[in-house]
Structure 1
């Protein structure tokens, strides 16, 4: 999976952390946040009017992470066209945003579609095909 990692940080699950990975080119940004209770991944367009957060996906509940006492490496990596981004935790893909098709995928499938579009109107259910966006 050819990606350009623009952010990498070792975190402790459940300790507040924010990891921000800007696209190599363009205005898109992806942000991972652990607020102490949950982990979320955000698709951000700072130039968007109103709320710059375009989509958000749930990554984990801290209480449910089996190895939360071990350090975890969070990486944010972008496709060659700077329009697709993947969240890797310890080298494992947990979420993908496709800024071009306005679609988010995550392994928890949460949150369900809001119906407020234009992002992820079909939901956030994980699909391994999302990784093909980086080939």
Structure 2
């Protein structure tokens, strides 16, 4: 299976930017944000009353990026079923949301608890199994 990339931007780490990518099949969306100090990845349910943000993953701290002076390509890609989304930076997966399981995974594992009671009952640590499940059988 393939990843359907819905957004791609060249970014400079530490330069504020927002990259948005909606699921091609439904009400879900994902947003990458670099606020100048930190990179985050957000899971959004656009049908949710009030705040659509369901979960947030820490991607990086700008001060800890060694090659931050080089441009990077940020991509948001969705699974074929439109229920899983991955954040790729220079084609390497850094964060993943599974909307069906309501679970987020990131390589930094920094934010251990989801801001939503309905999401990420387990910690946000990375799982290669989650990435494998992204592609299905």
TM-score, normalized by length of structure 2?
A: 0.95
- Find the counterpart in structure 1 of residue 54 from structure 2: 54
Across the two proteins, how many residue pairs are aligned to each other? 135
Return the alpha-carbon distance in structure 2 between the equivalents of residues 43 and 116 of structure 1: 11
Name the CA distance, whole Å, in 2 between partners of 1:79 and 1:115: 24
Unmatched 5+ stretches in structure 2: none
Cα distance in 2 for partners of 1:4, 1:115 equals 27
2:133 alignment counterpart: 133
Q: Which runs of 4+ in 1 moved over 3 A?
A: none
1:116 deviates by: 5.3
Aligned to 1:21: 21
Deviations 1:81-116 (A, max 9, x none): 000000000010000000000000000112112585
What TM-score, normalized to structure 1?
0.96
The answer on whether the counterparts of 1:44 and 1:55 sit within 8 Å (CA) in structure 2 is yes
RMSD: 1.2
Counterpart position of 1:110: 110
